[in-house]
């Protein structure tokens, strides 16, 4: 090869090196088998590893609970930078291994709420791709670890799903109150869709006689084995109340594949908690309908498993998205949420570009 041609070829290879290096980085697309765990670090950080985030405020402090070993917890004074707090469970709940033998302690999809002086934390014990799952609940009188009353008390299983018995999956719980203050639990993932069940007044078990409703689902062939999750990729219900409406946020498609994740946030609404929930075009969510709120970008694919809150008169959408520039790791995102003239949520996607 002549000198000029060799120089041009060498330059071409040099220009390709950044792209090759990016392709060679781990994608973390096997999160179900090898979930990422945040490395210990001191102080407050804006770049926070988080999956399935929920939030609550006690006094002047916000707390975020996310999927992780023993349930990962962060605190913040401004919803922008966060510091690590002790995990909820120092030891895996004893009953978890009876649900998932060999359970690795990576507890999924927490939900945090407050009622009558008590904080309720619902959480999921499961394994990927199976509805061998259960939702548990723990309580605490405070979220401030410096308070002498701080102690998480586990109350065990609220709901359990079993393959070939149940066409629903007992994960991704959210505590919701109806207009009368009656507690309900929204939950579900894939299979027959997202469910709603009334709870007892103590919020620890289903009320009797049990009342169940289907909130949303996607098409699924009767030819698919009952133990298989696909098709019908829908999960993570979160109900947000505003102006006489119940807004049902859900996640379509797939999480947990790093930069290959195609999660997107969808919504419908109803005047009653039990539904039916309709999308912007009037299609029922329990028949496959839903209106898109937010989808991924090349920089931040897979936004999903959202929660929604009002703090100081402003509404926020809280979710995770996958960081392409950091190996596809899931990161915490908090974006303002506004409403259009027809009362539908609007989230500016520009921070994800």
Could you list the active site residues? Answer: 52, 235
- Residue 155 phi, psi (nearest 5): -110, 5
Q: How far is CA 97 from the centre of its chain?
A: 23
Buried b / exposed e over 276-315, threshold 16 CB at 10 Å, is bbbbbeebbbbebbbbebbbbbeebbbbbbbbbbeeeeeb
CA distance 183 to 327: 40
User: Burial, 248: exposed, middle or buried (Cβ in 10 Å; 0-12, 13-18, 19+)?
Assistant: buried
Distances (CA, A) of 287 to 55, 67, 211, 217: 30, 29, 20, 6
For residue 300, which phi and psi values (nearest 5 degrees)? -130, 80
- Paired tokens of 7: 């120089």
* Residue 224 CB neighbour total at 10 angstroms: 13
Contact (Cβ atoms closer than 8 angstroms) between residue 178 and residue 198 = no
Return the beta strands (E) in 59-181 as ranges.
61-66, 68-69, 72-76, 83-85, 106-115, 118-125, 133-140, 153-161, 174-177
Q: How far apart are CA 145 and CA 129, in angstroms?
A: 35
């Amino acid at each position: 090869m002549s000198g000029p041609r060799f120089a041009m070829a060498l330059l071409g290879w040099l220009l390709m090196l950044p792209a090759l290096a990016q392709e060679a980085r781990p994608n973390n697309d096997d999160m179900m088998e090898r979930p990422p765990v945040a490395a210990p670090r001191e102080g407050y950080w804006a770049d926070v590893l988080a999956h399935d985030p929920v939030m609550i405020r006690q006094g002047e402090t916000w707390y975020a609970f996310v999927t992780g070993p023993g349930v990962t917890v962060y605190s913040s004074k401004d919803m922008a930078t966060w510091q690590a707090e002790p995990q909820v469970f120092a030891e895996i709940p004893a009953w978890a291994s009876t649900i998932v033998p060999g359970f690795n302690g990576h507890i999924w999809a927490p939900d945090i709420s407050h009622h009558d002086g008590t904080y309720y934390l619902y959480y999921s014990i499961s394994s990927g791709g199976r509805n061998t799952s259960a939702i548990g609940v723990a309580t605490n009188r405070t979220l401030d670890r410096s308070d002498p009353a701080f102690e998480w008390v586990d109350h065990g299983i609220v709901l359990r799903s079993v393959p070939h018995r149940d066409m629903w999956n007992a994960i991704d719980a959210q505590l919701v109150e109806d207009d009368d203050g009656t507690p309900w639990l929204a939950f579900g993932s894939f299979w027959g869709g997202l469910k709603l069940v009334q709870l007892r007044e103590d919020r620890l078990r289903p009320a009797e006689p049990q009342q169940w409703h289907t909130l949303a689902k996607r098409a699924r062939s009767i030819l698919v084995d009952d133990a298989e999750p696909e098709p019908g990729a829908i999960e993570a219900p979160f109900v947000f109340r505003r102006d006489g409406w119940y807004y049902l946020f859900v996640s379509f498609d797939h999480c947990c594949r790093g930069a290959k994740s195609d999660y997107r946030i969808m919504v419908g609404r109803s005047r009653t908690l039990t539904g039916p929930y309709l999308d912007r075009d009037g299609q029922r969510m329990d028949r496959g309908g839903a209106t898109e709120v937010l989808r991924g970008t090349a920089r931040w694919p897979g936004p999903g498993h959202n929660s929604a809150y009002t703090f100081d008169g402003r509404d926020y959408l809280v979710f995770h998205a996958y960081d392409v520039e950091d190996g596809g790791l899931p990161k915490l995102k908090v974006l303002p949420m506004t409403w259009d003239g027809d009362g539908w949520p609007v989230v500016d996607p520009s921070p994800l570009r």
